[in-house]
Amino acid sequence: MMRNLIHNSKIDFMGLTRSTWIMSGALVILSLLILLIRGLNFGLDFTGGYIVEVGYPQAADLTVIREALATAQFPDASVQNFGSSQDVLIRMVPQEGADKALVSQRVIESLAGTTDGELDLRRVEFVGPQVGEALREQGGLAVLSALFAIVVYIWFRFEKKFSVGSVLALVHDVVITLGIFSLFQLDFDLTVLAAILAVIGYSLNDTIVVFDRIRENFRSMRRGSPAEVINTSINQTLSRTVITSLTTLLVLSCLLIFGGKIISGFALALIVGVVVGTYSSIFIASAAVLRLGITREDLMPVEKEGADQESVV
């Protein structure tokens, strides 16, 4: 029943590629411009520094806290609520020669006058600037390595035109997701990087399902143009694609709403990635394969030499 949620659809997806490619191209260019102008708001994992989590007995006044930290020689501290109005997350740039325990003590002392109750120091973390820079470089290499491995895999599994289409779709997904994080200056940390890699995996899985059906139909459908074969393949997998995406989005929405601040960036990146990835597997990857001139001959199995003679014998 669920498998046939969308039954016998005959949508002309390839007929919409001109408008969808214009829209996707505009989104990618806009995302790249935003990334160049605003950049990513790298979190502590990539920039280095201190992160201090403090619990207040009542709702905390963030303005008063910022003023108290500035007076205590922490002028660049970032202060925000963490989960509730009583929980405060403080981020500070690294200070040369400063000890983690000493920094946390100074923070607590500076905040003592911001409340009548007792402060609860939840955690103190420190990441050195060299470590943060190394993590940033390694994260970028991880994304590039994943894309290169996908090119090789799709090339051997299907055909080189499929590998080009899949990578175009993945680059499209990653750039737009990063563009949204840059536009709203959302924290980009290791959990978000993990989500970006997960988006690549999710989008690739969806694309491979469509590609596999395209290959099967090119071999079995004796009539029909390449556009008709690809349209038929997408329509045949559409129910599976929609159900998978909706159930995934349902889980991710719960994580975003109830998971708290720690995993909100992870959940949001995946939500954007799943939506864009579902779209790109149809309108970018499949359309790219068509535009590259895929033919039935490209996907027919290669017969071994001497196969005819062996069958006669």
Question: What number of residues does the chain have?
Answer: 313
Give the SS3 label for residue 160: helix
Q: Are residues 139 and 116 in the same domain?
A: no
Q: Among the three residues 75, 101, 127, which one is the final residue of a domain in this structure?
A: 127
Determine, yes or no, domain membership for 310.
Answer: no
Residue 290 lies in a domain: yes
Q: To 10 degrees, the CA torsion angle through 12, 18, 22, 27?
A: 30
User: Strands 41-42, 187-188: parallel, antiparallel or unpaired by DSSP?
Assistant: parallel
Instruction: Kindly report the number of other CB atoms within 10 A of residue 210's CB atom.
Output: 24
Helices 261-280 and 160-183 pack at an angle, to 10 degrees, of 140
Q: How far is it, in rounded angstroms, from Cα 188 to Cα 276?
A: 19
- Whether residues 155 and 277 fall in one domain: yes
**Which residues make beta-bridge pairs with 280?**
none
Question: Is 306 among the domain residues?
Answer: no
User: What range does the domain containing 80 cover?
Assistant: 49-127
In a domain, 209, yes or no: yes
Task: Mark which of 109, 127, 145 sits at the end of a domain.
Answer: 127
Please list the alpha-helical segments (H only) found in the chain.
17-38, 44-47, 62-71, 100-111, 129-157, 160-183, 190-220, 226-258, 261-280, 286-291, 296-299, 307-312
Quick one: 183 and 246 in the same domain?
Answer: yes
256 and 290 assigned to the same domain? yes
Same domain, 85 and 221: no
Distance CA 257, CA 97 (A): 40
Residue 15: CATH number of its domain: 1.20.1640.10
Tokens of 151: 């090119």
Check whether residue 21 and residue 143 sit in a common domain: yes
| Class of residue 263 by CB neighbours under 10 A (exposed 0-12, middle 13-18, buried 19+) | middle
What CATH number did the domain enclosing 114 receive?
Answer: 3.30.70.100
Task: Decide: 24 and 172 in contact? Cβ < 8 Å.
Answer: yes
Ordered DSSP codes for 93-122: ---TT--HHHHHHHHHHHHGGG-SS--EEE
Provide the residue-wise pLDDT of the chain in tens; the chain has 313 residues.
445 566 667 889 999 989 999 999 999 999 999 999 999 888 777 777 788 888 888 888 888 888 888 888 877 777 888 777 888 888 887 766 566 677 778 888 888 888 878 888 888 877 766 666 777 788 778 888 877 887 787 777 777 888 888 889 989 999 999 999 999 988 888 889 889 988 888 888 888 888 889 888 888 887 788 899 999 999 999 988 889 999 999 999 999 988 877 788 899 999 999 999 999 998 999 999 988 888 777 666 655 555 444 444 4
Write down the residue that tokens 């505009």 correspond to. 26
Per the domain annotation, does 55 fall within a domain?
yes
**Three-class secondary structure of residue 125 per DSSP:** strand
pLDDT of 2: 46
Q: Does the global pTM surpass 0.75?
A: yes
Statement to judge: residues 144 and 16 lie in one domain = yes
Report yes or no on 304 lying in a domain.
no
Say yes or no: 101 and 242 in one domain: no
Alpha-carbon gap, residue 163 to 155, rounded angstroms? 5
Q: Which residues contact 135 (CB under 8 A, 6 or more apart)?
A: 45, 46, 190
Q: Is 246 inside a domain boundary?
A: yes
Looking at the structure, tell me whether residues 226 and 193 fall in a common domain: yes
Same domain, 63 and 102: yes
What pLDDT score does 302 carry? 54
Q: How many domains, in total, are found in the chain?
A: 2
Of 104, 127, 150, the one marking the end of a domain is: 127
Same domain? For 159 and 295 the reply is: yes
Q: Looking at the structure, do residues 31 and 137 belong to the same domain, yes or no?
A: yes
Flag whether 172 is in a domain: yes
3-state DSSP of 173-224: HHHHHHHHHHHCCCEECHHHHHHHHHHHHHHHHHHHHHHHHHHHHHHHCCCC
